[in-house]
A and B are shown apart, each in its own frame.
Chain A
């Protein structure tokens, strides 16, 4: 008995007295039809002109005869197995109606298809739960006055941190050396090492604001957007492939979203706008008139790619079932809730959250906000596939700039003529070989014609299927019908859609985005400043980055968190403003070397040491050896899978680019990046793992690319310096961004001489170069290179 489990508690039935409640109502019948039938008889596909989503529409389409199930067209078709048609069962990812479901329909029709109006009682929220710190708007706290340490207070960050440092009877560590600081901040802000020229300029600049100038230079560099865009893309789960399936299909147009994110960081797009565009960009612009499309429209539509990043196997059957679609929606909601709101909502899919005041009804009401764009019963498939249902539609918008469109039309007209000519030629051609050649040429042209600048977007379609709570997360157990709403802990007011730009849009996601970006939203700014903080100091003020709920870690410095959150909002939501404050604080400039402090008890009385992450290692190796092509944006370069499962990038035009521009697949990740903890996006990555495993030395010692790069670097160094000590000094400067210590120099000179002897002994020529290459290779393997002080 799957019916009526819920309503005695939460539903008031208005049109019947409690004793006269019909056994089966439209809320039992419609969910069955949604699951089994509306794929062909619903919002978009309406076979036989029939819409089975409401009783009214059913009657209009003469789907049933009230009181007479056996005479109802609907039942007859199901029983005779005319519906669903056999071929659609496998193609459209639908399943035959189970006997129990058919019985529900029969019972409903037999009872005269009773309808009830269901009104949900408001969810009672425990007032104590509402008082949780993260549900209160942040207020700007007073800045602590710290006696006798004025010189250490660069900005209020230091005041908040020092108060606790001093209370713990600790002190800040002394400032790190200039070159250490330069290496740290350059990697942190751009993901690249400083160049020898930048090192020289900073060393020479003795002004008081020398470091501030460096921070400004780095924030203005396009490499900043690449680095910080990557952090956001981790959160969004950016990937150039669909995942879920063995084939891991390429996701062709996702890179535009990647470029949107990188550009947004470089332009310091206010965080509130950044969020608004990603959640509801389609509702901010009118893209209905092809002649009125401009760069702004394109940008806003591309931004919605944020909610199209989750792994999604629904292109192909048999993983395009309703359950599979619900997984995709569930992943997207969790990416948004966790990454942006710091809430774990996923558990509320099956039951009320056990610790936070998020009920199951909240979850489904929240999902209903997205329904006009993400509707499991009116699904847009990611891309075409061989065994797809003819009725399926794609989630790409053919929106382009008028000049692009014209250029494409002209190009296509030309291609059409050429194709036509070739086809005629082929018809006339007798020679089989030539015929095949002509066919090949025609296919190439046709493929070119298909190359359209599409946008993988999320867009509102004006209406949606109803949303029922799935009791215990089970699709077959529909609970109450819900309407779009925010989680009740934040607002018990009825949800008001916003006024969207353009026709036929619900404005639901826009309303959500507006609410999220209110200046006094309790979570939005806090969650973002915490994430920025984490990427500078190695851990968040709240260390559970995506859980600010009861089970999350309490903030180590709650007042600092609030101060930063308010500061962000009041400085036009500028992320670069945060970087400036953080990087120029005394805390950030501290040395990491204090031997008195254990790493087990982190405190802000020294900087943490950290390993280069996967991208810093890859991009750094290329930058240092002069092989990095700094071209930004555009289609990703391909990856290639070599023997033994070794995956490398395939450099495109202009050579190797930064790793974000190499195709990000969920399955075939570059071996180097994967070895150094690049995560597979399933669905996204909240925090990178930083492992120390034996595959890492094996890779750096034995990989041919690393070895070859070392040789190339050695050749460069030989051009710039002469003599064993000068070349070693230069190698240190380039690779570890500092001069060698006395001991290091002595050891390295000794090793270089030994290496030369070994090469000579092995009767190899060019031993000097080769020995230097081996030294560079060793330095690329050293802790001094792989770790940032």
Chain B
């Protein structure tokens, strides 16, 4: 039986520390609390709540492979490129491009060998040997398409469903829809590269748009102070901090006692306590030295090339284990944006991320958690099959008309290869999957109907999929 608790009691219990204890793995428990799903707009807190129907996944880890990984060099081999190598693309292929886009450059074959992997025989390039071993757990979508060819609008679309800022991102919708189990950690955590600039669009990749700021992603640095203001920006003796907190607590309780019917004052007190616990837990959760040597090695931590990315992958596992609902992992800068020197820049990007990515899948699986966590991999678009620049140093330009993303875990049918691009890998032609189809499929795995998850904004029911025609891609689901 699920315990019935109201808001007051909840916060009182938070205060008592009942829900404050760091549990070994919150993910193993029922993540959805007792609150029924509201037919109306949802409350603005992050308490766990019921989805629309039984979910397959309870948490999401999104590999934000921003920049545009080249599908024809990674997951979508195109023998025809051998034939057309060095030639202009026949017009029959480029007609799916948005009107007016000029397609310059000659076609260029891939520099790398492909082989089939897993039961489903998915093609993977030699650049991703570790991911290749996981293909039995991965569903590849080779027919994704985006509506814009520039990073900024394409990223807005990919993250929030529209090509401009102001709309909530997928992670914000998910935490709005489901709340979070951990009340000691932010519901939606972003792990960006601590050593490099934020990715294109910066914080707008995890914005809450018109949803309350509570649902915005919290960027946690994997080095140094994890979060803005998690610790004091000034020096103070520990005893002073404690005495000050005690005073705030005492004064707030006196204040509240005269205003018994003001629940917001209760949540305020709970928040101060959560702030204190978060200081401890956020520091602890990001401390990967608490993991065994073997686990760290699995992620390539300590190795020059994989250390940076590997740490964030391992942190992501520690976060979802503790009940964080949505985690985004960003790579180093725009490492997939291979406009030049594809021959060296793409292998470098793969080298950094391939092992840690596969390690996260393996680690979650070994712990029995992969079924509960939906893993998303992919960028805002892919790349053109044409060469950009002189062939010797050629790269590839942005290709929004057809590209590859993959999903794993969380009720996804491993070993699936879905959709097709045309013969040269320029545009998606069969079983096309739009960004909103992709969004709706993710919500579906979390037990939510994209048409029912809405926010009442000035009388309008705003949705992640807006009014675009949308379908759940059931073919990739178990």
Contact = CB atoms under 8 A, between A and B. Distances in A.
Interface of A: 86, 89, 94-96, 98, 243-246, 311, 313, 318-319, 327, 338, 344, 346-347, 350, 544, 546-547, 549, 551-552, 592-593, 595-599, 609, 611, 644-646, 666-667, 671, 674-675, 677, 680, 682-683, 686, 689, 691-699, 701-704, 707-708, 741, 743-744, 747-748, 751, 754-755, 758-759, 761-762, 764, 770, 774-775, 777-779, 781-784, 786-787
Interface stretch (B202-210, B297-305, B408-416): B202-210
A619 B195 CA distance: 35
Query: Which residue, B243, B244, B255, has most C-beta atoms of chain A within 10 A?
Result: B243
B271 A693 contact: yes
23 contacts: A96-B100, A246-B151, A246-B204, A313-B164, A318-B148, A344-B460, A547-B458, A547-B459, A549-B459, A593-B258, A599-B262, A599-B264, A645-B219, A677-B213, A680-B207, A682-B210, A689-B212, A696-B271, A697-B275, A762-B239, A778-B244, A781-B248, A782-B252
6 tightest CB-CB pairs across the interface, nearest first?
A95-B100, A682-B166, A762-B237, A758-B239, A704-B233, A751-B247
A783 B255 contact: yes
Given A692-B264, A758-B243, A783 B164 contact: no
B362 to A, nearest CB: 32
Contact of B213 (A674, A701, A708, A781): A674
Nearest to A101: B99
A689 B213 contact: yes
B237 A759 contact: yes
Contacts of A674: 213
B248 A782 contact: yes
Given A311-B164, A701-B232, A96 B252 contact: no
Nearest to A346: B460
Contact of A704 (B209, B234, B240, B260): B234
B189 to A, nearest CB: 13
Contact of A761 (B100, B237, B254, B272): B237
A597 B262 CA distance: 10
B228 interface: yes
B458 A318 contact: no
Contacts of B150: 318
B54 interface: no
B25 interface: no
Contact of A350 (B100, B164, B230, B467): B467
Contact of B278 (A313, A682, A698): A698
A743 B271 CA distance: 23
A744 B164 contact: no
B239 A698 contact: no
A544 B228 CA distance: 35
Interface residues of B, number: 73
Contacts of B229: 671, 695, 698-699, 701-703
A764 B459 CA distance: 58
A593 B44 contact: no
B429 interface: no
A264 to B, nearest CB: 25
Contact of B209 (A598, A682, A703, A751): A682
B200 interface: yes
Given A547-B458, A599-B264, 14 more contacts: A95-B98, A96-B99, A246-B202, A547-B459, A667-B202, A667-B204, A680-B166, A691-B212, A693-B213, A698-B229, A751-B244, A755-B240, A783-B255, A784-B251
Given A609-B259, A762-B239, A774 B244 contact: yes
A755 B254 contact: no
B271 A692 contact: yes
A169 to B, nearest CB: 18
A544 B250 CA distance: 38
B89 to A, nearest CB: 17
Given A689-B44, A698-B229, A762-B237, A666 B165 contact: yes
A770 B98 CA distance: 65
Contacts of A544: 458-459
A695 B227 CA distance: 10
Nearest to A666: B165
Contacts of A682: 165-166, 209-210
A701 B242 CA distance: 11
B268 to A, nearest CB: 6
Contacts of A644: 221, 225, 228
B261 interface: yes
B325 to A, nearest CB: 15
A692 B266 CA distance: 10
A575 B393 CA distance: 67
A778 B164 contact: no
Nearest to B264: A692
Contacts of A778: 244, 247-248, 251
Contacts of A646: 228
B261 A599 contact: yes
A782 B251 contact: yes
Contact of B240 (A596, A611, A698, A774): A774
B256 interface: yes
Contacts of B151: 246
B33 interface: no
B368 interface: no
B233 A98 contact: no
Given A544-B458, A698-B278, A327 B244 contact: no
B274 interface: yes
B240 A552 contact: no
Nearest to A550: B459
B260 to A, nearest CB: 5
Nearest to B98: A95
Contacts of B228: 644-646, 671
B231 to A, nearest CB: 6
A526 B22 CA distance: 53
Contacts of B201: 246
B166 A311 contact: yes
Contact of A698 (B209, B230, B255, B263): B230
B261 A598 contact: yes
Contacts of B250: 747, 751
A599 B263 contact: yes
Contact of A694 (B255, B258, B271, B467): B271
Nearest to A641: B202
Contacts of A318: 148-150, 153
A759 B164 CA distance: 52
Contacts of A748: 247, 251
A683 B275 CA distance: 32
A546 B458 contact: yes
Contacts of B214: 691, 693
Nearest to A690: B264
B334 interface: no
A787 B263 CA distance: 13
A86 B212 contact: no
Interface centre among B153, B186, B209 (most CB of A within 10 A): B153
Contacts of A759: 237, 240
B66 to A, nearest CB: 12
A246 B254 contact: no
A784 B255 contact: yes
A145 to B, nearest CB: 32
A230 B148 CA distance: 36
B130 interface: no
A423 B267 CA distance: 66
B152 interface: yes
A758 B213 contact: no
B213 A244 contact: no
A214 to B, nearest CB: 24
A747 B253 CA distance: 11
A84 B259 CA distance: 69
A344 B274 CA distance: 40
A721 to B, nearest CB: 19
A783 B265 contact: yes
B366 interface: no
B102 interface: yes
Contacts of A697: 271-272, 274-275
